[in-house]
Amino acid sequence: MNPLQRKKDRIDALAATAAGGGDIPDAGHVSESGGLSLIGSAWLRLRRNPVFLIGAAITVLFVLLAIFAPLIAPHNGTTKYLISQVTPDTPIPPSQKGFPLGGDDQGRDFLSRLILGSRQTLIVGVLATLAGLFGGLVLGTIAGSIGGWVDSVVMRIVDVMLSLPSLVLALAVATLFGRPSQWTLIIAISIVQVPIFARLLRGSMLTQRASDHVLAARALGVRPAAITFRHMLPNSLGPVLVQATLVLATAIIEAAALSFLGLGNPDDSSAEWGQMLGKAQDLFDISPHVAFWPAGCIVVVAFGFTLMGESLREALDPRNRR
Amino acid sequence: MTTAPTKTDTLLSVRDLVVEFGAKGQTPFRAVDGVSFDVRPGQTVGLVGESGCGKSVTSLAIMGLLPKRGNKVAGSALYDGTDLLTLDDREMRDRRGRDVAMIFQDPLSSLNPVVSIGVQVAEVLQRHRGMKKAAALAESRDLLDRVGIPDPTRRLKEYPHQLSGGMRQRALIAMALACKPRLLIADEPTTALDVTIQAQILNLLKELVIDSGTALIMITHDLGVVAGLCDEVNVLYGGRIVETASRHEIFATPRHPYTNGLLGSIPRLDGARSEQLAAIPGSVADNIPWTTGCAFAPRCSRAIEVCRTEPPVLEQDPAAMEEHALRCHNPWPIDEGTRGPA
Amino acid sequence: MLRFIVRRLLQAVLVMFIVSVLLFAWLRSLPGGPVDSLLGERATPATRAALSKTLGLDQPLPVQYWHFLSNAVHGNFGTSTQVQSGTDAMELFLQRLPATVELSFFAIIIALVTAIPLGYFAAKRHGGLLDTGSVVLSLVGVAVPVFFLAFVLKYIFAIELHWLPVAGRQSPDLDATRVTNFYVLDGLLTREYDASWDAIKHLVLPAIALASIPFAVIFRITRASVLEVLNEDYVRTAESKGLSARIIRGRHVLRNALLPVVTTIGLQVGGLLTGAVLTETVFAYPGLGDALAQAFSQRDYSVLQVLITMAAIGYVLVNLLVDVAYAIIDPRIRTR
């Protein structure tokens, strides 16, 4: 190539960023951040992104609420304090001294149940997501790192799982268990998430199999298992993290939907937002607030996770890298 | 900076064009820093320089194609007496394609992938000449034939991905010249093409321009292109014109050290094999601002004290026989070897 | 293009095969065994024996699968025990299908009509108030559970304001003639316009609730796609030709930007069924979703079976159609 051309390319890159007023890219120049890793530069950008900050704030508050719930709640969630006020005419005890949000249909303190409900909701969401992640990890890693016909078969099954609408799939799985319970809820939701993670992992694995550092490891004779765990998996973490955050949001919402349909723990002594929402539908006409509060909480938390997930995704996008 | 009076038969007269980019909170960057040149009817004018010197931005500013936000434009671009820079969007839209047209560097990405070639040519005719679809398509066919595309009737219905690179650029030329604009701007039209096709396209442009009397502004970094095509050449550096002359003058007596550098860095077929390619040392990043001194000074082999403290002015070279403007404190003398280092 | 279609068809067939195997496995794994689950507890020993024979329970698995498959192909899924006791499951499905299709149709129309223009203008005025506002709106749309939105709508517009009906497909006092079972269409065909209007009134709220998720997704994809296309060179070429803003928007920007949206619509259909299950329950709208919810809570396995099978088939078919449509629309694939 003409030296003028080579120089032109370099100047092109510089001029383009100069015209845009941005930082100088890696066109042979060290960036201002001193050549950070993808995660490093992502964090720098995230710190200043209001979308991420709001999402992270909501998420952190939610987690703290869940952890310290018993300390924060004024009463416990099972004692039927106000049962005497529950009559066919007034099924919901109104707001009164000591019980700012009144009671529920069993006379228990609504506010306390709301606060304590964050725990169960978080647990259900996290467990379902982790289970889905683990399942997807196994499938995706197998498909991606072995490749060949194993890959084809596994991905066909994944495609089929994706071809069913999520709720239908969840219901189908839930039917297999005789009696609904917390665990059927978690398993049903996680099965829906498995194909998403599997696809993600497998795609990431395939891209990396062809990458230089993996080829180098293979050339050096590193054992395939070691390659998978030490070289390929860590690099796949970014998109997986993003997906997990988004999945957590949908898991919470799906838990609510399934509870609404009658899946989930019939014993409602331990509070959970989805369950509370499901049971509140019958009383909606008389006392909408019994539904609004848990719904509002679900919306806010799901919103927070979604904001965080979306901004994470944008931050980790290699195209945005400086 | 010279602000020469506009000659009466000038088609396009650009005066003191300034284009400044800058996001909020960042120092503004002048991509074009006071550029003036004329184009007479039927004339081919070259804008030459490395990437980043402002030549593309100049043409985009003239066409009114700069993004709506993030830049400031000053100066004037008089087309037939009307300043294009003052026209609003609707008025500019009327003129684009009809009075002034432009072709760009990458023919594949410059074509709409989901619309047929015929329609992409016809739409210009429909817009500016009010032709109905059937008539427009018929004339498009003739246009495609005129630019040398074989089997044009079939091509009308085809899509960009079905054509070769050279044919795509020909199609773009057909679109640009469909309404017979009096001025065509070509921004590096051959850079993205194979070398063998480059010559064909350049010949085509030359032929069309001579036939129709269209004025052409040729933007390029390649002096070989300039040699074959342009009547007059403007060399740009750092957003300003540093040398202007006729083609003959520029190649016979290039006086500005930068122009010399550009010429000298072209590998010659008859040069000794062991001869090193003479690159211009340094890079655009080494520039000092024009407000301080000569932007090229840090890279210039002929830089003297005053070059770093006083910006040189573009003025007619008193020693030249023809019109030949220079922006330099210490240009190469005329009688010494013309192919020296920068 | 033909090669493309054939390949997609074969893939669809393969997926259907795997689905059928999974369904078969699912059926055999139901608690209480397949016979009990299909017939319920009150079946006589004779009926049980007959069903056992039909299902071929005493025979090797592959043969059982074959019976299952042939039953399915003939539309023989058993009889409903709870949802509509005594009705053949397949017939129940066919009965309720138009209701959900009509609802989904309106929901998708609402989503498209609002999301695409909004997405386009949000992209065009990138960074402006409209852009930020609508992005936030779409995120909220995804975060709010569909059934809750349905409830809120019902509460505000039906219960409090009495503007729209609370439940069902048609007012009970209206005696409308049935032609296709698509109530709005029927009213138009028989010129009973009040019947059509009544059906529309019943559709408004559930359709809006159902549209919320497709709206959010279609909006975001349109916006992202338009943003990308606006930066393309060919848009600059179109501008340099002096074309009118309308032509540039229609022929150059949208025709390219909407291609990814077409694919998304196919994916949304699956999501619609999920939403339908919840929305129809809230509005007591007698469609497939409502049937599914009831069948699930009451353990009506015949109905569950037919609905799940049909859902899978429907989803695969719709996606196949979308892929084919995409192949026709995108000239780059069409002319390969």
Tell me if C300 sits within 8 A of C81, measured CB to CB.
Answer: yes
What are the phi and psi torsion angles at A209 (to 5°)? -55, -30
Residue B293 reports pLDDT greater than 60: yes
Q: Report the percentage of chain C scoring pLDDT > 90.
A: 18
More confident residue, A315 or C261: C261
Inter-axis angle of helices A110-146 and A182-209, to 10 degrees? Answer: 30
Using the structure block, give the residue that is written with the tokens 């490749």.
A147
Interface test with A, best of C16, C36, C147 (most A CBs within 10 A): C147
| Mean pLDDT (chain C, rounded) | 82
Decide if C314 touches A, using CB distance below 8 A. Answer: no
pLDDT of residue A35: 46
Residue C2 lies in a domain: no
Residue scoring higher pLDDT (B38 or A101): B38
pLDDT given at position A16: 35
- Return the pLDDT at C86: 75
Residue C219 resides in a domain: yes
Higher-pLDDT residue of A91, B63: B63
Write out the two tokens for C63: 């043969």
CB contact under 8 A, B127 and C232: no
Chain B residue with the nearest C-alpha to that of C232: B109
Mean pLDDT of C71-99: 80
Cβ neighbourhood burial of A299 (10 Å; 0-12, 13-18, 19+): buried
pLDDT value for C73: 79
Residue A59's H or E segment, with its range, is helix A50-67
Please give the pLDDT value at position B271. Answer: 67
Please indicate whether residue C113 or residue C64 has the higher confidence score (pLDDT): C113
Q: Is there a contact between C222 and C202 (Cβ–Cβ < 8 Å)?
A: no
B87 in reach of chain C (CB within 8 A): no
What is the pLDDT, as a whole number, of residue C41?
A: 62
Q: Is residue C298 part of a domain?
A: yes
pTM: 0.79
Strand arrangement, sheet containing B215-220: B100-103, B183-187, B215-220, B44-48, B232-237, B240-246, B324-326, B315-316
User: Could you tell me the maximum CA-CA distance found in chain C, to the nearest angstrom?
Assistant: 82
Over residues B239-260, mean pLDDT: 88
Task: Write down the pLDDT at residue B31.
Answer: 87
Per-residue confidence band for B67, with pLDDT thresholds at 50, 70 and 90: confident
Please, which residues 20-79 of chain B have a Cβ atom closer than 8 Å to chain A? 21-23, 26-27, 29, 31, 50-52, 57
Assigned architecture for domain A49-320: Orthogonal Bundle (1.10)
Flag if B106 and C233 touch (Cβ within 8 Å).
yes
Q: Which residues of C touch B65 (CB under 8 A)?
A: 236, 239-240
- Interchain contact C127–A (C-beta under 8 A): no
The string of pLDDT tens digits covering residues A203-236 is: 777 777 777 777 888 788 877 777 777 777 777 7
Question: By residue range, what is the domain housing residue C109?
Answer: 90-335
Mean pLDDT calculated for residue range A61-89: 80
Q: How many domains does chain C have?
A: 1
- Kindly report the nearest CA distance between residue C153 and chain B, in angstroms: 41
Q: Which residue has the higher pLDDT, B265 or B60?
A: B60
Most confident of B205-214, C38-47, C66-75: B205-214
pLDDT at position B13, please? 92
- CB-based contact, C227 to chain B, within 8 Å: no
Residue of C nearest to B184 (CA): C240
What integer best gives the mean pLDDT of chain A? 74
A135 vs A168 pLDDT, higher one: A135
Nearest chain B CA: its distance from C4 CA (Å): 18
* Spatial separation of the C-alpha atoms in residues A314 and A50, rounded to whole Å: 13
Contact across the interface for C259 and B158, Cβ inside 8 Å: no
Q: Which chain C residues have a beta carbon less than 8 Å from that of B119? A: 251
* pLDDT the model gives residue C298: 77
pLDDT band with cut points at 50, 70 and 90 for residue B123 = very high
Closest partner residue to A260 (CB to CB) among C140, C273, C278 is: C278
- On the question of pLDDT at C134 being above 90, the answer is no
Mean pLDDT for A39-49 is: 74
Query: Could you tell me the two tokens for C74?
Result: 């003939």
Nearest CA in chain A to C279: A257
| Residue A22, min C-alpha distance to chain B (Å) | 9
C residues 60-79 closer than 8 Å to B (CB): none
d(CA C317, CA B286): 62
Alpha-carbon span A258 to A188, nearest angstrom:
9
Question: Which range is least confidently modeled, A260-274, B185-199, B278-292, C243-257?
Answer: A260-274
- Average pLDDT estimate for B29-49: 90
pLDDT in tens, C219-256: 989 998 998 999 899 999 999 999 999 999 999 999 99
Q: Is there a contact between C243 and B127 if contact means CB atoms under 8 Å apart? A: yes
Task: Assign A13 a pLDDT band (cuts: 50, 70, 90).
Answer: very low
Q: What is the mean pLDDT of residues B239-248?
A: 90
d(CA B239, CA B33): 5
Chain C residues with CB under 8 Å of B59 CB are none
The ipTM (two decimal places) reads: 0.85
pLDDT of residue A30 exceeding 50, the answer is no
At B19 the three-state DSSP class reads: strand
**B129 has pLDDT over 80:** yes
Q: Which of A72-76, B159-163, C84-88 has the highest mean pLDDT?
A: B159-163
Looking at residue C171, which CATH number applies to its domain?
A: 1.10.3720.10
Count Cα atoms within 13 angstroms, Cβ side, for B216: 29
Question: In this predicted structure, what is the pLDDT of residue C54?
Answer: 64
For residues C230-240, b (16+ Cβ closer than 10 Å) or e, as one string?
Answer: bebbbbbbbbb
User: Over the range B169-192, which residues count as b (16 or more CB within 10 Å of their CB) and which as e?
Assistant: bbbbbbbbbbbebbbbbbbbbbbb
Q: pLDDT confidence of A21, banded at 50, 70, 90?
A: very low
Which residues from chain A sit within 8 angstroms of residue C272, using beta carbons? 165
Instruction: Give the residue-averaged pLDDT of B60-68.
Output: 90
Confidence grade of residue B12 (pLDDT, cut at 50, 70, 90)? very high
Q: Which residue has the higher pLDDT, A201 or A5?
A: A201
pLDDT tens profile A270-310: 778 877 877 777 776 677 778 888 888 888 888 888 888 87
What percent of chain A has pLDDT above 70?
Answer: 82
Q: What is the spatial distance between Cα A95 and Cα A82, in angstroms, rounded to a whole number?
A: 11
CB contact under 8 A, A164 and C145: no
C142: which chain A residues are within 8 Å (Cβ-Cβ)? 302, 306
Categorize the per-residue pLDDT at A25 as very low, low, confident or very high, splitting at 50, 70 and 90.
Answer: very low
Q: How far apart are CA A184 and CA A175, in angstroms?
A: 9
- Ranges B232-236, C193-197, C211-215: which has the least confidence: C193-197
Q: In chain A, which residues touch B (CB < 8 A)? A: 2-4, 7-12, 14-16, 18-22
Find out whether B245 and B71 touch, Cβ atoms under 8 Å.
no
Whether the per-residue pLDDT at A7 is higher than 70: the answer is no
Of A231, A287, A239, A268, residue with least CA distance to A117: A268
Q: Give A166 to chain C, closest Cα distance, Å.
A: 7
